[in-house]
Amino acid sequence: MSGPSAVKETPIERREQLVDYIASGARTPEAWRIGTEHEKFGFRLDDLRPPTYEGPRGIGAMLNGLTRFGWAPISETVDGATNVIALARGDGSITLEPAGQLELSGGQLKTIHETCEEVTGHLREVKTVADELQLGFLGMGFQPKWRRDEMPWMPKGRYRIMRDYMPKVGKLGLDMMTRTCTVQVNLDFANEADMVKKFRVSLALQPIATALFADSPFTEGKPNGYLSYRSHIWTDTDADRTGMLDFVFEDGFGYERYVDYLLDVPMYFSYRDGKYIDLAGKSFKKFLAGGLDDLPGVLPTMKDWADHMTTAFPEVRLKKYLEMRGADGGRWSRLCALPAFWVGLLYDQTALDAAWDLVKDFTMAERHALRDGVPKHALKLPFRNGSVRDLAREALKISGQGLTRRNQLNATGASEAVFIEPLIEYVEANQTPAERKLELFNGPWNGSVDPLFREFAY
Higher pLDDT, 376 or 272: 376
Residues paired with residue 316 on neighbouring β-strands, in sequence order: 324
Q: Where are the beta strands (DSSP E) in 380-441?
A: 382-383, 386-387
**With contact defined as beta carbons under 8 Å apart, do 307 and 271 qualify?**
yes
CA distances 369 to 208, 342, 356, 362, Å, are 12, 22, 19, 10
Q: Pinpoint the alpha helices (H) of 98-220.
A: 112-133, 157-169, 173-179, 192-212
Q: What is the pLDDT of residues 63-78, one digit of tens each?
A: 999 999 999 999 999 9
b/e burial code for range 285-307 (CB count within 10 A of at least 16 → b) = eebbeeebeebeeeebbbbbbbb
Q: What is the pLDDT of residue 273?
A: 87
Q: What is the pLDDT of residues 111-124, one digit of tens each?
A: 999 999 999 999 99
Cα angle 101, 132, 59 (rounded to 5 degrees) comes to 25
Q: What is the pLDDT of residues 175-224, one digit of tens each?
A: 999 999 999 999 999 999 999 999 999 999 999 999 999 999 999 999 99
Cα angle 421, 422, 428 (rounded to 5 degrees) comes to 85
Rounded CA separation 335/79 (Å): 36
Rounded CA separation 302/57 (Å): 39
Rounded CA separation 69/83 (Å): 19
Q: Quick one: angle between helices 332-346 and 192-212, nearest 10? A: 140
Q: What is the pLDDT of residue 5?
A: 58
Q: What is the mean pLDDT of the chain?
A: 97
The neighbour count for residue 125, using CB atoms within 10 Å, is 18
> What does the DSSP 8-state code read for residue 29?
G
- Least Cα distance to 43 among 456, 325, 453 occurs for 453
pLDDT value at 4 more than 80: no
Rounded CA separation 395/158 (Å): 37
Q: What is the pLDDT of residue 8?
A: 73
- Region 286-307: mean pLDDT is 96
**With contact defined as beta carbons under 8 Å apart, do 347 and 193 qualify?**
no
Class of domain 16-265+312-455 (CATH, top level) = alpha beta
**With contact defined as beta carbons under 8 Å apart, do 365 and 419 qualify?**
no
- Region 424-452: mean pLDDT is 98
Q: What is the pLDDT of residues 364-408, one digit of tens each?
A: 999 999 999 999 999 999 999 999 999 999 999 999 999 999 999
Rounded CA separation 296/294 (Å): 6
- Region 298-312: mean pLDDT is 97
Q: What are phi and psi of 301, to 5 degrees?
A: -110, 175
Residues 6 or more apart whose Cβ sits within 8 Å of residue 5: 303, 306, 307, 310
Q: What is the pLDDT of residue 6?
A: 60
b/e burial code for range 10-34 (CB count within 10 A of at least 16 → b) = eebeeeeebbebbbeebbeeeebbb
- Region 261-285: mean pLDDT is 96
In terms of phi and psi (left: phi > 0; alpha: psi -120 to 50; beta: otherwise), the region of 243 is left
Rounded CA separation 424/439 (Å): 20
**With contact defined as beta carbons under 8 Å apart, do 179 and 99 qualify?**
yes
Q: What is the pLDDT of residues 6-62, one digit of tens each?
A: 677 899 999 999 999 999 999 999 999 999 999 999 999 999 999 999 999 999 999
Query: Is the CA virtual torsion 312, 318, 321, 324 positive or negative?
Result: positive
Of the listed ranges 5-9, 350-354, 433-437, the one predicted with least confidence:
5-9
pLDDT value at 2 more than 90: no
pLDDT value at 345 more than 70: yes
Residues 6 or more apart whose Cβ sits within 8 Å of residue 143: 41, 50, 99, 151, 178, 179, 180
State the SS3 of 287-304: HHCCCCCCCCCCCCEHHH
pLDDT category at 3 given cuts 50, 70, 90 is low
